[in-house]
Amino acid sequence: MDQPSYLLTLLEEARRAAKNAHAPYSNFSVGAAILLRDDRIVTGCNVENASFGLTICAERTAATRAIVQGDRDWKAIAIVSPTGVTPCGACRQFLSEFAPNLEVWFGYVDERKLVSGPISLAEMLPGAMKFQR
């Protein structure tokens, strides 16, 4: 599959966000960038806390920023880290609440190469809990 035209920009924005990570405990900076359907980008980084359960992942930071801005129509997310990790289970569920078919891409913080993608969030989280009205 050819890489979409927005991918390099999305990865670069995620790398820029990772530079702002607060990761004094793990020294593992992660950045995320969400591409909205109108081609704007919203970013986030991980924010650690001495009480590890209060740590916020980059993906949820970006998603929360988008939601606060009133943007809930997401096309893709790029996540960069030192090792090319995938979203944790909590992030997968959080993202699926708003964009179950989100296109997910992975890259490295310090390199300009792609790790993998795209993969659908629905593929990453089969059987996701769905909001019931």
pLDDT in tens, 20-69: 999 999 999 999 999 999 999 999 999 999 998 999 999 999 999 999 99
DSSP-assigned beta bridge partners for residue 32: 44, 79
- Annotated catalytic residue 13: no
- The predicted model scores a pTM of 0.92
12 torsion bin: left (phi>0), alpha (psi -120 to 50), beta (else)? alpha
Paired tokens of 58: 């980059």
Q: Catalytic residue, from 48, 59, 97, 111: name it.
A: 59
> Rounded to whole angstroms, how far apart are CA atoms 37 and 126?
24
> Rounded to whole angstroms, how far apart are CA atoms 127 and 133?
18
Name the percent of the chain lying above pLDDT 70.
97
